[in-house]
Amino acid sequence: MKKRNILISFLLIIILPVGTVFSYRYYQSYKENQKKKLIFEKRKANWLILRQRLTDEIAKFNGEAGIVIKDLEMNWEISFNKDKLFPSASLAKIPLMAACFWAADQGRIKLDRNITLKSSDKLTGSGVLKDMPAGTVFSVERLIGLMIYDSDNTATNIITNLMGIDYLNSMFKAFGLKNTVLSRKIADYQLRDQGIENYTTAEDMAFLLDKMYHRTIGNKSVSDQCICMLKLTRTNDRIPKYLPVDITIAHKTGLEKEVCHDAGIVFTTKGDFIICVLTKHANSNSALSKEFIARVAARVYKYFEQL
């Protein structure tokens, strides 16, 4: 009996501390899980509030809008008319850029190849190349950059001629874009006035940006090159307008008669998000559409600030 009592006492000395440690760890794990649950529930509630805020903004907007917002950490999406076709304007330069970097990766083109500017290349509209003298030489990579961060129409015309519209459309399909098509050169306004239009959707733009973010366009370097270019965009009167100046934004705007767009990825300390806002309007200028896009971006950013 004495030996048995000694054995029981020994076991209690060993088992009780182990049980106490186990209980403490279980309690800590429970508390952590409860904390995560509360954070998730708050985030979900704020996401639903954001949807309502965006619904209110759309109701006040004097025009049509296609919108996709994506929380890239949670993989949540808010969308309105995401598959509605809009004239793509310069948003078409995003998949065009991606096709160029893909082609370079595959050896179809060389980014360091020099191309001489010709008078016949020059187009009106945005960009500086139209004012450059014929005979000026640019690398393919520099032309891609000018096409994106300056939205240069002449650079776009040269790149489109280099790649070919048929090849570009085939690459858009290869990327998985369902409703993005080039029916003419992006700045061919004569054909546009004849009713020949390029189209895209907020869904397609968000899909392509998501592939860039997750580095799944070709190898990782293709996606990285695309995002680096988009971060250099100089037009900041839409998505960036009401956001802090130190926020990194990789985006591309689009602007033509009666259409105004902006699509990009916003990188914040609380989380990254995709925002694509395409608009069509009948106003005398694009000021109201630009303000609408800026307000939508501000609403989304506020959601992340509350996390």
pLDDT tens digits, residue range 27-48? 567 667 777 788 889 999 999 9
* Residue 164, phi then psi, degrees to nearest 5: 90, 135
| Contact present, 84 and 200 (Cβ < 8 Å) | no
Maximum Cα–Cα distance across the chain: 108
| Contact present, 144 and 159 (Cβ < 8 Å) | yes
Residue 17: pLDDT band with limits 50, 70, 90: low
pLDDT at residue 54 tops 90: yes
- pLDDT, position 102: 97
- Mean pLDDT across the stretch 93-122? 96
Tell me the C-alpha distance between 201 and 184, whole Å: 17
pTM: 0.89
Q: What is the DSSP letter of 268?
A: E
- The rounded percent of the chain whose pLDDT value lies above 90 is 80
- Nearest CA to 158 among 121, 206, 107? 121
Instruction: Tell me the β-bridge partners of 278.
Output: 66, 261
Residue 8: pLDDT band with limits 50, 70, 90: low
- Mean pLDDT across the stretch 280-304? 97
- Mean pLDDT across the stretch 99-114? 97
Exposed, middle or buried: residue 132 (CB in 10 Å: 0-12, 13-18, 19+)?
middle
- How is the beta sheet containing 64-71 ordered, strand by strand? 76-80, 64-71, 271-280, 259-268, 248-256
